[in-house]
Structure 1
Amino acid sequence: MPKAYVFTRYGGPETEALVEVERPVPGPGQVLVAVRAAGVNPVDWKQRTGYRRPGETGEGVFPAVFGNEVSGVVEETGEGVTEPAVGDAVFGRPVEGGYSTYALLSTDLIAAKPDGLSFTDAATLPVAGVTAYDGVRQIGLSPGDTLLVTGAGGGVGVAAVQIARSFGLRVLGLASEGKRDLVESLGATHVPSGDGWTTRVPGTVDGVYDLVGGDVLAEAATLLTDRTRLVTAGAPPAEVERLGGARVVRDRTSAQLAAVAALVVSGDLDPHVTDTFPLERADEALRTVEEGHARGKIVIEVAG
């Protein structure tokens, strides 16, 4: 039977389990995808604790499958779906989780996987890649301006630094000392995190893309004269709005997925997948991200 990595209630890692599940059936406007790879993101473990994205309502349904980004091959199409077709390679956001043998995807949240894009790299784009792309564009800086990215060593941060560089921006990357080499390899100037980090920022900052929230977000805001250039994916709307900034507005369309994939194919964006795990070791993959040990992206490879 198909397998999925789930959480059975809200709580900690003790709620997680690898279980057998029924093969999903696609509804109207959906496709069933045989998952080749699933990206691992902080939001995955946060959802296990009961976290809701801004605007989400309703009670959780258990068991709930982990995972918010997948790549794979279309196995079956639902009513009214003419594209993609069975056998097409695709990537996108699953309807009900992606750490699984099969996943359902809505056709408005899916894109064709280019031949030059691996399934593993494609699985990093629907959340991390698109979030990075949306945030950098939303800040709206001009070539030559300076962008500070907080949390620059994580999956979204790695993508945001590279995308900003491709837009002609000078980039400062706030990250731990252990991630200095990674941040500098992306073409950014490393700013060591920790107490008093704002005093270590070289020169002026024109925009901030925050991926951390909390005190780091508040401290980053003090570096800006124009707070409309403050955007976060690491804090709730109310928290950043009090500082004069905004939450990243995500564009989860097929066109946006295709645009980010094109950056990978062109060489402007390397997802920096630093480790992969089979589905049977999904717990290890999730712990790597939850405990803050990930450098770049972690991916679960479900099938070859």
Structure 2
Amino acid sequence: MPKAYVFTRYGGPETEALVELDRPSPGPGEVLVAVRAAGVNPVDWKQRTGYRRPGESGERDFPAVLGNEVAGTVVETGEGVTGFAPGDEVFGTAVAGGYAEYALLAAHITAPRPPALSVTDAATLPVAAATAYDGVHQLALPAGATLLVTGAGGGVGVAVVQIARALGVRVVGVASEAKKDLVESLGAVHVTSGTGWTDRARAAAPDGVAGVYDLVGGDVLREAADLVADRTKLITAGAPADAAEALGGARVLRARDAAVLRAVAALVVGGALDPHVTRSYPLEQAGQALREVEDGHARGKIVIEIGATA
């Protein structure tokens, strides 16, 4: 039977396990893929704790497969699906988990993988890069404006910096000292996170910032709000909508469609976006991959390799 990395109830890492599950069958509007690589994101462990995305409701069926973004090969298509056939190389958003040998994708959030786009890079795009793309275009800052990015050294942050820079936006990236070289290599001005970071940010942007893209939430989001004059240019993917709205800002508005996937794939193929996959793990070590992201130590993106990725 196919293997999958799951959580058996809400809680911490102790709920995770590698198990065997029946191969899923695609329903209407779904595509079944043999997974070759799965991206690892903070939302994965947050869902294990019971987190719901805006608009999500209902309880999960356990065991629940972890993971939200994959790249793989189409095996079967469900009723009403057009444009995909068995053997196609695709990447997209998992319907019910992606850390598995087989996963169901929502066809409307699935795109063909261009031959020049590697499997591991493709697996990082549906959540991290697409979130970055949506937020940068939501802010719509003009070329030459300054964008402050908190959590600039993580998977989404790395993509935000590059997408904004490709549009001519100046970026100040807040991240740990350990990620300074990474942030600066992307073309951003690095500001060390931690106590006093707002003073350092003001020094790095003496004329102020035109927008804030927050990926941390909590106190960092509240402190960042004081750095932008126009609170409509304050967005977050690191905090609930009500936390952002209380400060005059908003959550990142996700398009969640294949057009965005094609757009970010084109940025990678064209050289404007490097997902910075810094480490990969086999499915048997999915727990270690998730710990690296959950503990906040990941630089760039972590990927789980499940099938051949050459």
Shorter-chain TM-score bucket reads over 0.9
1:273 alignment partner in structure 2 = 277
Residue aligned with 1:57, SS: coil
Deviations 1:116-166 (A, max 9, x none): 100100000000000000011111100000000000000000000000000
Structure 2: which amino acid aligns with 1:209?
Answer: Y
Structure 1: 5+ residue stretches without partners: none
Cα distance between partner residues in 2 of 1:27 and 1:59: 19
1:28: Cα distance to partner? 1.8
State TM-score, norm by structure 1. Answer: 0.99
1:246: Cα distance to partner? 0.5
1:8 alignment partner in structure 2 = 8
Cα distance between partner residues in 2 of 1:213 and 1:292: 14
1:256: Cα distance to partner? 0.8
Residue aligned with 2:121, SS: helix
2:174 alignment partner in structure 1 = 174
Residue aligned with 2:264, SS: helix
1:179: Cα distance to partner? 0.5
Matched, 1:211 2:215: yes
Cα distance between partner residues in 2 of 1:299 and 1:290: 14
1:31 alignment partner in structure 2 = 31
The correspondence of residues 119-130 of structure 1 with structure 2, limited to 5 A, is 119-130=119-130
Structure 2: 5+ residue stretches without partners: none
Structure 2: which amino acid aligns with 1:300?
Answer: I
Structure 2: which amino acid aligns with 1:16?
Answer: E
Q: CA RMSD in A?
A: 0.7
Structure 2: which amino acid aligns with 1:151?
Answer: G
Deviations 1:30-74 (A, max 9, x none): 111000000000000011111111221111210000000000000
Residue aligned with 2:227, SS: coil
2:102 alignment partner in structure 1 = 102
Cα distance between partner residues in 1 of 2:227 and 2:289: 35
Cα distance between partner residues in 1 of 2:111 and 2:76: 16
Matched, 1:233 2:220: no
Cα distance between partner residues in 1 of 2:81 and 2:246: 44
Cα distance between partner residues in 2 of 1:80 and 1:42: 32
Residue aligned with 2:235, SS: strand
1:79: Cα distance to partner? 2.0
Structure 2: which amino acid aligns with 1:84?
Answer: F
2:63 alignment partner in structure 1 = 63
1:133 alignment partner in structure 2 = 133
Residue aligned with 1:282, SS: helix
2:188 alignment partner in structure 1 = 188
Question: Which of residues 244, 249, 265 in structure 2 aligns to 1:261?
Answer: 265
2:40 alignment partner in structure 1 = 40
Matched, 1:222 2:222: no
1:109: Cα distance to partner? 1.1
1:149 alignment partner in structure 2 = 149
Cα distance between partner residues in 1 of 2:60 and 2:21: 18
2:304 alignment partner in structure 1 = 300
2:89 alignment partner in structure 1 = 89
Cα distance between partner residues in 1 of 2:74 and 2:4: 18
2:255 alignment partner in structure 1 = 251
Cα distance between partner residues in 1 of 2:250 and 2:82: 38
Matched, 1:161 2:166: no
Residue aligned with 1:70, SS: strand
Structure 1: which amino acid aligns with 2:143?
Answer: P
2:51 alignment partner in structure 1 = 51
Residue aligned with 2:60, SS: coil
Cα distance between partner residues in 1 of 2:82 and 2:225: 47
Cα distance between partner residues in 2 of 1:211 and 1:185: 19
- Same amino acid, percent of matched pairs: 72
Deviations 1:67-125 (A, max 9, x none): 00000000111223232111000000011000000001121110000111001000000
1:196: Cα distance to partner? 1.1
Matched positions, count: 304
State TM-score, norm by structure 2. Answer: 0.97
Cα distance between partner residues in 1 of 2:42 and 2:29: 28
